Structure 1
Amino acid sequence: MMNKVMVITGGSRGIGAATAHLAAERGYAVCVNYRHHSEAAQSVVDSIRSVGGKAIAIAADVAIEADVIKLFETVDDQLGKVTALVNNAGILEQQMRVEMMDAARLQRVFATNVIGSFLCAREAIKRMSTKHGGTGGAIVNVSSAAARLGSPGEYVDYAASKGAIDTMTIGLAREVADEGIRVNAVRPGFIYTDIHASGGEPNRVERVKESVPMRRGGQAIEVAQAILWLLSDEASYTTGSLIDIAGGK
């Protein structure tokens, strides 16, 4: 059987960590990519290894092209060719209105959320595509329900970056569909993760959950399960799809 090798960006916490654990349970060798949280990433790796799984942690800032190239070359050497990419790394900044945002903030958000996803997809396709001698694979982009909702008064820039990810997912899926690669996205809604603290409101999900038809926030594992389905053979005829995991919102 072909080795299943997953690269998950931003894999040290939240949705990324939940996806890494679930992927390892399902037989993937997992590369947990992180930018700053080396201890958290190592803890995910240790936990996977403790139950017999295979995992490594690699530091790389996906907004930096050289880092991304090095990330994939290291995976080639240590785990083998990537067969699954989860573009999960994403940032948001302090909640504010658009008229308060400076260019530096916008560049940071788009560099990580959009350019980082493109660079990682590029490196994965070079390895997966039958056009390049690969055996195929699957990519799942982690977008956000914010792409539909716009996040007014909070972070329209983050929402716009995720709108770009939706468009990238559809275009890229069609571009590589006959090269053995499927590309899909999940669009999580209000999920209990640390990202809300970056926006200055750690308890944001509690504040907004009543606006969700299901009247609750989501758990990272609920997103991870959808990601793993999209990567699996059960989703073999699914590409260019955006799955909302947002409790009906």
Structure 2
Amino acid sequence: MQKIALITGASRGIGAATAQLLAARGYDLCISYRERAETAEKLAAQLRALGGRAIAARADISREADVEQLFRTVDEQLGPLTALVNNAGILLPQTRAENMTAARINTILHTNVTGTLLCCREAIRRMSTARGGNGGAIVNVSSMAARSGSPDEYIDYAASKGAVDSMTVGLAKELAGAGIRVNGVRPGPTHTEMHVDGGEPDRIERVRARIPLGRGAEPAEVATAIGWLLGDDATYVTGAFIDVSGGA
């Protein structure tokens, strides 16, 4: 059976690196994006040059209708989904908890928690053997912030990733009998544009002294962990997390 993967938030960073890795391993791919259409289309063209099928599809995963349309696009243009990588997530500028508004908190939660669970829901409806599917694998991209809490920076983001961790464990148990494995990857500081979103582009330089390996991760290093969890070498792994954190 042809391997078909959907990667959310795949126009840059970890998502793009994961798309490149999976394309090289023979997957057909849908890369979803919210804003960077030109970048996503360029990446899809690069993936097609590797010999497989690849499409780019716009979706704001905080919107249920967008999520439903995204999965219909995969159905129509690629076929039965076998893998989902929930990579899409947002981060807002650093601030302490006493400065956070309900609007800010809900913006984070709608994408990072609600959107992630909606994507899982649609994947389950297609992959579950209890619903006539062929099984599959889901990898949720969390963050080491879920464990540190990110004090003085973005506790709301950390809380959203803690929810993703809980979701991962619950889904793994719920879906174990339906042919779907669910695992998580927790990146530490990684060289992506997300630090710009947080208001500190050079954040890795500030925190690198706390990292035993003394540097930030490259997106491809996180992608390797995602690829392993999706692959045939991890068929007995579910409800697990790989911390790609340099030992932090």
The residue number in structure 1 matching 2:112 is 113
- One-letter amino acid of the counterpart of residue 213, structure 2: M
Q: Is 1:191 aligned with 2:190?
A: yes
SS, match of residue 3 in structure 1: coil
- 1:82 & 1:50 partners in 2: Cα distance? 21
Distance 1:51 1:226 in 2: 21
Once the two structures are superposed, what CA deviation does each residue of 1:140-183 show, in whole Å capped at 9, x if it has no partner? 00000000011100000000000000000000000000110000
The answer to whether structure 1 residue 83 and structure 2 residue 79 are counterparts is no
> TM-score scaled by structure 2?
0.99
- Partner Cα separation in structure 1 for residue 225 and residue 74 of structure 2: 24
* Structure 2: distance between partners of 1:34 and 1:48: 15
Q: Percent identity?
A: 60
Q: Which amino acid aligns with 2:53?
A: K
Could you say what secondary structure the match of 1:185 adopts? strand
Residue in structure 1 matched with residue 45 of structure 2 by the alignment: 46
SS at match of 1:182: strand
User: Structure 1, residues 194-249: CA drift from partner, whole Å, max 9, x if none?
Assistant: 00000111111121111101101000000000000000010000000011000000
**Rounded Cα–Cα distance in structure 2 between residues aligned with 1:12 and 1:207:** 26
Q: How far apart, in 1, do the equivalents of 2:13 and 2:25 lie? A: 19
Counterpart of 1:154? 153
Partner Cα separation in structure 2 for residue 177 and residue 30 of structure 1: 24
Quick check: 2:85–2:140 contact (8 Å CA) kept in 1? yes
AA matched with 2:207: V
Residue 230 in structure 1 maps to residue 229 in structure 2: yes
Match in the other structure for 2:167? 168
Q: TM-score, normalised by structure 1?
A: 0.99
* Residues 96, 152 of structure 2: 8 Å contact kept: yes
Offset at residue 122 of structure 1 (A): 0.2
For 1:19 and 1:241, the matched residues in 2 are separated by: 19
Matched to 1:19, the amino acid is T
In the alignment, structure 1 residue 132 sits paired with structure 2 residue 107 = no
For 1:227, the aligned partner's letter is I
Task: Supply the distance in 1 between the matched residues of 2:43 and 2:194 (Cα, whole angstroms).
Answer: 18
Query: Is the 2:31–2:56 Cα contact (8 Å) retained in structure 1?
Result: yes
Deviation at 1:186, TM superposition (A): 0.1
Detail structure 1 runs of 4+ shifted over 6 Å in the superposition: none
1:16 aligned residue? 15
Computed over aligned residues only, the root mean square deviation of the Cα atoms, in angstroms, reads 0.6
State whether structure 2 residue 140 is matched by structure 1 residue 145. no
Structure 1 residue aligned with 2:99 = 100
Question: Helix, strand or coil: the match of 2:14?
Answer: helix
Deviations 1:55-97 (A, max 9, x none): 1000000000000000000100000011000000000001000
Aligned residues: 248
**Can you give the 5+ residue segments of structure 2 that lack an aligned partner in the other structure?**
none
Letter paired with 2:86: N
Letter in 1 for 2:241: L
Unaligned runs of 5+ in 1: none
Distance 2:21 2:53 in 1: 12
> In the alignment, is the contact (CA less than 8 A) between 2:136 and 2:180 conserved in 1?
yes
5 Å matches for 1:61-80? 61-80=60-79
Report the alpha carbon displacement of residue 46 of structure 1 after superposing the two structures with TM: 1.2
Deviations 1:99-158 (CA, angstroms, capped at 9, x unpaired): 001011111100000001100000000000001000100000000000001110000000
Q: Counterpart of 1:247?
A: 246
